[in-house]
Structure 1
């Protein structure tokens, strides 16, 4: 039998008394969270980290396992203040959101501009705080069709009317200046002033044609200046939705224009054989005048007719269509919805510009109907393609043919005579214009020509 240990009973069934705790004192024994980690029972880890054992980045404690207050950094170890917390750089009180408001996103300073006010309302600006000058010229909003390019942020009801009057006055003044200057140069070269005889200002038919083409061609800068000064929009917004002349598209439109001329001349001869008349279509009397007599008129026609044709398009298909189209309201709610909806379409401007275009010429009878159809077609193509290029190309080619043929046949003296025509003119011109319109629309789709701003 083993020797009896102190504090143990030798009687069977009796347990020895408990040994005294090695740390007897007034305090209770240490809890499980104050014992060293190596004395914890297996599988039981303390829910709180030990003093000094901060979590690594990305290993933050789970909910309910936050470190005790003593684990936070002592005062004085917080990050330094940022650049917006320096003295004198605090935003004014009105820039802070109200309680429960929406604060600016992270990384955005608490300063706002008049264009982007805070969600809780723009504060009243300080004197000179937002002294940004309002632009004097404003383009139309994006996705604006051609006929509504005149309705920009500066639009007022009186601007199209005032612009039309200014354009008319400027045309009268500039044509008078051109005529006086031409007369002075003519007198310096010939040594005498010319006296007008009827509709002829000068004794030479070529000179009369040249001065007339110059007086018409000078209308283009008048239209551009009127759009900039009165309507406060870009100069060449009259030309296209891209605020410029699309030269590549203009040259491309000349191909269907040449086809229009060839087809109209061929159909004129064919229709004349079927329906003969006293005023044939597509034929001219006269004979070849010779190269020497044809060179000077041909050069005048080739160099000046494109400017004259473009000027007429800028006035009629450009300014007038956009002036009428600018009255189309942005919304069609309220009274007279049908009228507002109609003004938003390009047709009022196309019809009005076509009527004015016919009245500006001296045609009568069926010739008036023919030129009205011509104006309506190229007016629709202007809006459909977003610019004047298709109208300028066919107008210039048609006028070149109309002037060069009489000049070659010695009939340039009747270049300004505009009268009637047989009904067969419509039979010739309508199919040609329809094919030209189809070809232009197809080319515009194929080349992705811009239709809106």
Structure 2
């Protein structure tokens, strides 16, 4: 097995998706165990914690004891989606951020900052540039999308401006305050921990890249619940694009920017002229929507890689980083 100074290809440095190979050994056992722990935290523990918080809140604010259980149960009912439901879902997802940090320290023996990038930290200049590229790509895609045939009536957009009500205000508060964190959390789970967990399983560099991109992308699409095939493919394409960017740019920044801008735009448009229930739990999709997502992804991935190269964004661990990874005491 390669040590922390070389990649499986023999080149100096480790790519982002290979970093778990410098953690606890045997890497496969610890990676799979950690991935299972992330899933349990994401799907079970986080739900229990948020349910407990809401239960205490309802009881503390005077809700009768016999109504508390019903009010908590309604938070998990996405038909219809209310501000409370959106708040509940976002809080469950946001708790995954500290969950992934805990798992990388406990199962890989590495500092949590190695999930962010090969630096290892947030590269703020690159993050800012990624937001700019995301906005440009989305605006360009909207313009090009107007030239495509209509995607059909999916019920997402009504064409008329919705009235701004107290419910709209509450939705807006949740979207502004928590949607960016929700997108960041999903990146830490799927393009962070799971990318490194699956990428570290295979020694061959090309195979490990493919596994590191495709496996988390499939899980990302499946994690969105019941959906028809075009919607699944749409989300799969999003996951593949973000996964490619993680490896090509050496960190989560581009995927985070892409995800945050995409979600804010989607929820913002829906709040203005659509239905929040339909956008959060779509029952049907169109292949034209998939084509538009693929077009958006190709534009964003291409532009991001070009800008990253122009900026000299680091894509492998530096010599200083390799030295830190090679010191067992420095890992924790």
Alignment partner of 2:61: what SS? helix
For the structure 1 residues 255 and 284, does the alpha-carbon distance in structure 2 shift closer, same or farther, using more than 3 Å as the test? farther
Unaligned runs of 5+ in 1: 1-138, 330-339
The alpha-carbon deviation at position 350 of structure 1 amounts to: 0.6
Say whether the 8 Å CA contact 2:75–2:84 is kept in structure 1. no
Unaligned runs of 5+ in 2: 6-11, 318-332
Give the one of 166, 172, 184 matched to 1:298.
Answer: 172
- 2:150 equivalent to 1:242: no
- 2:216 equivalent to 1:353: yes
Which residue of structure 2 aligns with residue 372 of structure 1? Answer: 236
**Structure 2-normalised TM-score?**
0.82
Give the one of 236, 253, 268 matched to 2:145.
Answer: 268
Which residue of structure 1 aligns with residue 257 of structure 2? Answer: 393
Say whether the 8 Å CA contact 2:227–2:284 is kept in structure 1. yes
Alignment partner of 2:216: what SS? helix
**Structure 1-normalised TM-score?**
0.61
- 2:68 equivalent to 1:188: no
Which residue of structure 1 aligns with residue 15 of structure 2? Answer: 145
* More helix per residue: 2
Which residue of structure 2 aligns with residue 439 of structure 1? Answer: 303
Say whether the 8 Å CA contact 1:268–1:281 is kept in structure 2. no
Which residue of structure 1 aligns with residue 36 of structure 2? Answer: 165
Give the one of 247, 252, 263 matched to 1:383.
Answer: 247
Which residue of structure 1 aligns with residue 132 of structure 2? Answer: 255
The alpha-carbon deviation at position 406 of structure 1 amounts to: 2.0
Alignment partner of 1:243: what SS? coil
For the structure 1 residues 413 and 347, does the alpha-carbon distance in structure 2 shift closer, same or farther, using more than 3 Å as the test? closer
CA distance in 2, matches of 1:298, 1:268: 26
CA distance in 2, matches of 1:253, 1:310: 14
Which residue of structure 2 aligns with residue 155 of structure 1? Answer: 25
Alignment partner of 2:184: what SS? helix
Q: After the TM superposition, list the runs of 4 or more consecutive aligned residues in structure 1 that deviate by more than 6 angstroms.
A: 201-204
CA distance in 1, matches of 2:136, 2:250: 22
Which residue of structure 1 aligns with residue 163 of structure 2? Answer: 289
Which residue of structure 1 aligns with residue 330 of structure 2? Answer: none
Alignment partner of 1:387: what SS? coil
Which residue of structure 1 aligns with residue 182 of structure 2? Answer: 308
Say whether the 8 Å CA contact 1:265–1:282 is kept in structure 2. no
The alpha-carbon deviation at position 147 of structure 1 amounts to: 0.7
Say whether the 8 Å CA contact 1:269–1:282 is kept in structure 2. no
The alpha-carbon deviation at position 444 of structure 1 amounts to: 0.6
The alpha-carbon deviation at position 365 of structure 1 amounts to: 2.1
1:31-430 aligned at under 5 Å gives the runs: 140-141=4-5, 143-152=13-22, 154-156=24-26, 157-171=28-42, 172-192=44-64, 193=68, 195=70, 196-197=73-74, 199-200=76-77, 205-271=82-148, 275-279=149-153, 283-290=157-164, 293-329=167-203, 340=204, 342-343=206-207, 345-361=208-224, 362-409=226-273, 411-430=275-294
For the structure 1 residues 185 and 140, does the alpha-carbon distance in structure 2 shift closer, same or farther, using more than 3 Å as the test? farther
The alpha-carbon deviation at position 348 of structure 1 amounts to: 1.1
For the structure 1 residues 284 and 387, does the alpha-carbon distance in structure 2 shift closer, same or farther, using more than 3 Å as the test? farther
> Which structure has the bigger radius of gyration?
1
Greater relative contact order: 1 or 2 (C-alpha under 8 angstroms, separation 6 or more)?
2
Alpha carbon RMSD of aligned pairs, Å? 2.5
CA distance in 2, matches of 1:403, 1:438: 25
Say whether the 8 Å CA contact 2:156–2:275 is kept in structure 1. no
The alpha-carbon deviation at position 236 of structure 1 amounts to: 1.5
CA distance in 2, matches of 1:170, 1:398: 26
